[in-house]
Structure 1
Amino acid sequence: MPFVIPSLRTVLFRLHWALGLTAGFVLALMGLTGALMSYEEAVTAFANRDRLVVIAGDRQALPPSILAARVSAQAGFPVNVLTLSDDPAASVHVRFARHPATRARPPAVYADPYDGAVLGPVRLEGAFTTVRDLHRWLLIPGGSRGWGRTITGACVLALLVFLGTGLYLRWPKVHRWRIWLKPSLSRPGRARWWSLHAVAGTWLMPVYLVMALTGLTWSYPSFKDGATWLLVGERDAAKPMRAAGGKAAPEAPADASGPSAVDRAWAAFRAGEGRAAGTAILTLPDADAKAIRIRWLPKGIDRLSARNEARYDAATGALLAAGRAADEPLGQRLMDNILEVHRGRFFGNLFALLFCLAALALPGFAATGLTLYVLRRRAAARRQPEAVSATLRAAKP
């Protein structure tokens, strides 16, 4: 029997369903976990609503260094990050430094900003950490350096192949908006499932393209470097920040200490750059740090893509440089907030909901694709005896 070279359409069709039977199920799992993480902040806030508030009264908030010391004394771990609010009734979110040997981070806690009392751990933090690890590397040992990251990265590449082959396979001979955008649910059997699968994929193709391209920045560092070069330019030009009056920070006094420098930096921030801050994330410097980093959001804004940043000298607390998100070019903002782009929040709440629904739809594509595969195999099995019978009848004299 002569070898018949399959057509391009046949090759792409087989590639599409072969990836669907393998990478499709991993993508379905990544879609479910991604949808769970889409509203992690809102779910966590609801679960910890009793620990998010404190009674302010006429009390004065502690300086950051004293607050960190009191929390550290109770928890037994050095404090790394304090998330502070301008709301006098809001508690402080506290993150601890990673263990130097294991690189594990102790569970975060909420604390009273007025006396440093620990109000309790952050509920659901461990659950979302597990969901995140499942999403990124399938909980396979080795974490970001193991096979899990390789598998999920390959599946993200497969998603791009799905988009390309799916678009080619459904390209109609006659172009009408109904053919492209409206599913034919009244059609019987396999045609109905194919229409639903193809039309939904067309609607969500731009979302999946953004998800895939941003997801590759975590899977392949070289891809991230290329995206950074394309959107930002040279590395040295990244994250431009406005220097404080163009002058270098003054020399540290002989008796300057880390904690007092943190408090001076915080006081300078609240009196200067942070006057309009609603939420501020203060990263405490370690022994080798040269700068104290404060990222902040303006009052009434909760979009992480709107974060501004100020840096202060770790020895003196003097302002070194400051930068605002609104002053950065779009490419820089995209790369600085790649996670927010990945889950749609960079574009606003409506797009965040759309991205969440698109992630939830990935198991649906796996299910409809599997249904189409099974129905096709059954149809082929029914046709085979009929073809054999026809051949035998044709062979009779």
Structure 2
Amino acid sequence: MPMPIPAPRTVLFRLHWALGLTAGFVLALMGVTGALMSYEEAITAFANRDRTRVEAGDRVPLAPSALAARIDAQAGGRRTNILTLSDDPQASVFVRFARDPKTRERPPSLYADPYDGAVLGPVRLEAAFATVRDLHRWLLIPGGSKGWGRTITGACTLALIAFLATGLYLRWPKVHRWRIWLKPSLSRPGRPRWWSLHAVAGTWLTPIYLIIALTGLTWSYPSFKDGATWLLAGTPERAKPTRMAGSREVPPPPETASEPALDRAWAAFRAGEGHEAGLAILTLPGADTKAIRIRWLPRGVDAPSARNEARYDAATGALLATERAADMPLGRRIVENILEVHRGRFFGDLFALLFGLAALAMPGFAATGLTLYILRRRADARRRGTERTTGPVATGTKPRRALT
């Protein structure tokens, strides 16, 4: 006798709980770590509040080349790669070093005094957040981005999309009312209460989880990233910055033997493109680098999606190209700030908070889903026990609709 073919609803229901018992727990872990990473900057700034401030007085900040040289002299062979400079006279300098050429590992970052180059100390919690990041991206499995961890987290991200699709299908009501879709029925006892909480919360958070999943796939699957880039920006590769019409440009000072190109570029930046910059991230040129890169935010703006960029010739300090975020098409801005879209900061502080809360809710979905599974198994066991005692249910009885 051939086996009966299960209904599509039954197949999707089984897929939903099967993924919940496997990928659901990985997604719960990724949710907690993702929420922590969303506020990494704020937490790190609080933990290092004694090292992010200096006494300014009437001191004059060092030029970038002199500042980098003094830091390197105290760094034990490490070479300064990035300086984050602020127009706040009491702000210290955030320093990142170049990667080790052999291990490709980046040395710990530190804070320094912009007026004399004195090292104020390493960045507290940097190593802890590096561990959280590795746990979020590849579960601390050996091999990093080239190991099985990336494969597992990528598959679980796909599972999140499957959760959203099957969950909406399984709770599709026969009568469409906003109360059915958006209001949980917490007064109902037992399984119906847990199901209502699980389903309604999932409905509310579906748009956020969809954005998180689609942006997360860009790190797991390069082909998906190339396709998304082509769809949003028209090219899988990032176009080089171009000089924008109407930008204020000041030619660099005349070259002198005593003034490095880095300092000439910085002076030209402060007098031209960077005259309104509140925060500037200066990437120093390396042996194989042809440009000095300066990314900057206007005063009073802290949204990374508003970051502008200027590039200067590493040999002469002359301006090569500039690019302002306000002049970029929306699709290009999304591609350039995919991490900020992933954690909600691209849309503003309120959405960043909502994304963080949604990430923290992922363990809740795993818990309520597991509770529903256990309660269903218990109910099935009791029903089978009743059938063995009283006989099978009479034929023709309409089967009860399964709760998801």
Task: Check whether the contact 1:256–1:316 (CA below 8 A) recurs between aligned residues.
Answer: no
Gaps of 5+ in 2: 395-404
The two structures, once aligned, show a CA RMSD in angstroms of 2.2
TM-score by length of 2: 0.93
TM-score by length of 1: 0.95
Whichever residue aligns with residue 335 of structure 2, its letter is: M
TM-aligned CA deviation for residue 58 of structure 1: 1.1
TM-aligned CA deviation for residue 288 of structure 1: 1.1
1:316 aligns with 2:327: no
Whichever residue aligns with residue 121 of structure 1, its letter is: P
TM-aligned CA deviation for residue 234 of structure 1: 2.5
Q: Distance in 2 between matches of 1:167 and 1:147?
A: 31
TM-aligned CA deviation for residue 391 of structure 1: 3.3
TM-aligned CA deviation for residue 287 of structure 1: 0.9
Aligned to 1:373: 373
Q: Distance in 2 between matches of 1:128 and 1:44?
A: 9
TM-aligned CA deviation for residue 392 of structure 1: 8.0
The correspondence of residues 174-323 of structure 1 with structure 2, limited to 5 A, is 174-235=175-236, 238=239, 240-242=241-243, 260-323=260-323
Could you report, residue by residue, the CA deviation over 1:114-148 in whole angstroms, capped at 9, with x for unpaired residues?
A: 00000000011011110010000000011111100
The correspondence of residues 34-73 of structure 1 with structure 2, limited to 5 A, is 34-73=34-73
Task: Check whether the contact 1:241–1:322 (CA below 8 A) recurs between aligned residues.
Answer: yes
TM-aligned CA deviation for residue 393 of structure 1: 11
Other structure's SS at 2:65 match: helix
Aligned to 1:148: 149
Aligned to 2:382: 382
Aligned to 1:98: 99
Task: Check whether the contact 1:244–1:319 (CA below 8 A) recurs between aligned residues.
Answer: no
Could you report, residue by residue, the CA deviation over 1:15-51 in whole angstroms, capped at 9, with x for unpaired residues?
A: 0000000000000000000011111111111001111
Other structure's SS at 1:242 match: coil
The correspondence of residues 130-169 of structure 1 with structure 2, limited to 5 A, is 130-169=131-170
Task: Check whether the contact 1:109–1:121 (CA below 8 A) recurs between aligned residues.
Answer: yes
Task: Check whether the contact 2:387–2:393 (CA below 8 A) recurs between aligned residues.
Answer: no
Q: Distance in 2 between matches of 1:245 and 1:162?
A: 49
Q: Distance in 1 between matches of 2:198 and 2:61?
A: 56
Whichever residue aligns with residue 136 of structure 1, its letter is: R
Whichever residue aligns with residue 22 of structure 1, its letter is: T
Task: Check whether the contact 2:255–2:316 (CA below 8 A) recurs between aligned residues.
Answer: no
TM-aligned CA deviation for residue 2 of structure 1: 4.0
Whichever residue aligns with residue 175 of structure 2, its letter is: V
Gaps of 5+ in 1: none
Task: Check whether the contact 1:239–1:332 (CA below 8 A) recurs between aligned residues.
Answer: no
Task: Check whether the contact 1:261–1:316 (CA below 8 A) recurs between aligned residues.
Answer: yes
- In structure 2, the CA distance between the partners of 1:116 and 1:261, relative to structure 1 (3 Å rule), is same
Q: Distance in 2 between matches of 1:235 and 1:57?
A: 49
Whichever residue aligns with residue 280 of structure 1, its letter is: A
Q: Distance in 2 between matches of 1:256 and 1:171?
A: 74
TM-aligned CA deviation for residue 390 of structure 1: 3.1
Q: Distance in 2 between matches of 1:131 and 1:177?
A: 39
Aligned to 1:87: 88
Q: Distance in 1 between matches of 2:237 and 2:223?
A: 17
Q: Distance in 1 between matches of 2:349 and 2:117?
A: 34
